[in-house]
Amino acid sequence: MRVSLSATSAIMAPISIAPRTSHVALDADGSPRAYHPNNEGIDDNRNAGYPNKGWKSVLVVDPNDPSEPHVQRDGAPFPGYFVSKTSLRSHTTADIDPAAYVNSEAIPYIVFPGAFYAIKGTGRYGDLAMVRAIGTNHETCAIVADGGPTKAPLGEMSLALATALGGDQHPNPRNGRGAPRGTFEYIIFPGSAAQPAWPRTLADIDARARALLADLGGWPA
């Protein structure tokens, strides 16, 4: 990973951080059909730490049985599935409502490794970004929506982001098939989170992120 600060092109243009990486990992978290008690979700339950220790950081706890994840009831988007969380969430929506979290299949989002998140100035959950696949015409807006292990490399992304960067229409988080390949550049805009940071529409994320990129004078050479 190469980290550099992008130069601003105008007075009061936002300061950004523009790391590059060729690492890609697929994150299904936040999708209402990510995980299932019978391991029938789009992702493997082991990636959520279930049934072993660690699942409480990924799956919503059943309010009636704290030893088990909550299972979506009738009327929910995917009855019978667990509710998968993201670090970025709405604080006015119930914990057990999948709508409280950022849907990996619908929203291009970035996962910050713990060590990267700890670096001052790299951004926080809810901050916006622009991402491109170097040497291609694939570019997209994104939002910082989840956190990963401390020593993980930068490059874990939502399924929607993977598709927007040239991956398959339905990339597979169980085995990584369909993920985009190449070198990817992330222009992250620290301090660009809305208040509240979530929910935001994809159209709003896209318009604001592209405006911030334009304020910088576009992509670095």
pLDDT digits over 79-138, tens only? Answer: 999 999 999 999 999 999 999 999 999 999 999 998 888 888 889 999 999 999 999 999
Range of the domain at 157: 5-28+104-215
Residues 133-178: pLDDT tens digits?
999 999 999 999 999 888 888 999 999 999 999 999 999 999 999 9
Residue 169 belongs to some domain of the structure: yes
DSSP string, 76-145: SSSTTSBPBP-SSB-SSS-TT-GGGB--TTTS-EEEEEHHHHHSTTS--TT-EEEEEETTSS-EEEEEEE
Residue 192 belongs to some domain of the structure: yes
Residue 36 belongs to some domain of the structure: no
Residue 46 belongs to some domain of the structure: no
Residue 198 belongs to some domain of the structure: yes
Closest-CA residue to 33 (of 91, 106, 89):
106
CATH number of the domain that residue 172 is part of: 2.40.40.20
Residue 175 belongs to some domain of the structure: yes
Residue 177 belongs to some domain of the structure: yes
Element (H, E) at 160: helix 159-164
Counting the structural domains of the chain, the total is: 1
- How many helices, marked H, and strands, marked E, lie in the chain? 3, 11
Residue 208 belongs to some domain of the structure: yes
